[in-house]
Structure 1
Amino acid sequence: MAEVNTVARPYTKAAFEYALGKGNLDQWSATLNLAAAAAGDEKVARVLSNPAMTDAQKGDLMISICEEADQAGKNFIQLLAANKRLALLPEIAAQFNKLKANQEKSLDVELTTAFDLLDEQQEKLAQALKTKLGRDITLTAQVDKSILGGVVIRTEDLVIDGSVRARLAKLAEAMNS
């Protein structure tokens, strides 16, 4: 069986190209995020897996949840329902948001530190990342005392681990070699 991201990709690409052409990436992103959250909800997933419901009824249920979607968005959800692909909504939304971020030259960065950083420190780090990566940076900071010190920066496929824990692990590995 094909992987979920492979099956979701053509739907994502079609939705993205349509939304880009119409100039409403934000609206489509909001619709897909809402639909993905609904499809991922345990109660909604249970209803959607009910074999007594027709595909059209499942599509109508999702449309009622995403009532602010434009007609094209509603048609997209009905298409997914007709093709028995509503379960792909979380993956479609994730892929769509990545394409949107690439289009807008922005990047979500997760920053993990051992202690809270001041706002000016976060801003300075965001500026340095913006310069290095050539994109606008949206920083999300969290504290994890287990890294002991330093920072861990994560975004899509890039991880910069400057934590004390990682350095100690490298030192231990070098000593045991």
Structure 2
Amino acid sequence: MAADFNTIARPYAQAVFKLARDKGTLAQWSDTLGLLAALVEDDNLNPLLASPKLSPDQARDLVLRIAGEHLDAEGGNLVKLLAEKGRLLAAPAMARQYEDLRAEEEGTLDATVVSAQALDDKLQKELEAALGKRLKRKVRLHSEVDEHLMGGAVLRAGDLVIDGSVRGRLDRLATVLNR
């Protein structure tokens, strides 16, 4: 079903992106779409929005009531349109696609480094700079800790994965030895 949402979300994400770019409101729309995605993915709200018993008007009113003052007029109009077309559940896919378009426009890339221990700020900045130089983009590096890693780190940036973990090295060694 997620693939269906990606297809459904694409024209909406592109239209919102064009509007945001033209008006210089890329960050504001990131917030709006992030809010809508969070609401739709909420464990309590999602089953209600997915229920065929809820009319489009009821879905619209529910989301608008919860989002309240966090939506401007354009954000409210988007909610109305999505509800009317039965597309509210596509909001998370729409938000992801919008963020991809925004990152491409701004020349940025979100990357994640997973390590056995928390990285200090200096090392994180060095990794961010090195990755940015390699990929020729401004990189926003997010750090996660996975206690199951024995050491080293795994870096993910778009389609690029660099596995420098001890576990990854051991797995590669085992593969070579088992040939």
Q: CA deviation at 1:128?
A: 0.4
Structure 1 runs, 4 residues or longer, greater than 3 Å off? 49-53
- Deviation track 1:47-102 (CA, whole Å, cap 9, x = no partner) reads 32444443122112212233332222211111110110111011111111111122
Partner SS for 1:148: coil
Aligned length: 177
User: Which residue number corresponds to residue 22 of structure 1?
Assistant: 23
Q: CA deviation at 1:46?
A: 3.0
Partner SS for 1:96: helix
User: Which residue number corresponds to residue 92 of structure 1?
Assistant: 94
Distance 1:151 1:52 in 2: 48
TM-score scaled by structure 1?
Answer: 0.91
Q: CA deviation at 1:45?
A: 2.0
1:159 and 2:161 are equivalent in the alignment: yes
Partner SS for 2:151: coil
User: Which residue number corresponds to residue 7 of structure 2?
Assistant: 6
TM-score scaled by structure 2?
Answer: 0.90
Contact 1:19/1:28, CA 8 A, preserved across alignment? yes
Distance 2:93 2:36 in 1: 11
Distance 2:173 2:107 in 1: 37
Classify 1:175/1:53 alpha carbon distance in 2 versus 1 (closer, same or farther; 3 Å): closer
Q: CA RMSD in A?
A: 1.8
Distance 2:30 2:112 in 1: 20
Residue type at the aligned position of 1:55: P
Structure 1 unmatched runs, 5+: none
User: Which residue number corresponds to residue 34 of structure 1?
Assistant: 35
| 1:12-161 aligned within 5 A | 12-66=13-67, 67-161=69-163
Classify 1:44/1:146 alpha carbon distance in 2 versus 1 (closer, same or farther; 3 Å): closer
Partner SS for 2:70: coil
Q: CA deviation at 1:9?
A: 0.6
Residue type at the aligned position of 1:142: E
Q: CA deviation at 1:40?
A: 1.0
Q: CA deviation at 1:149?
A: 2.0
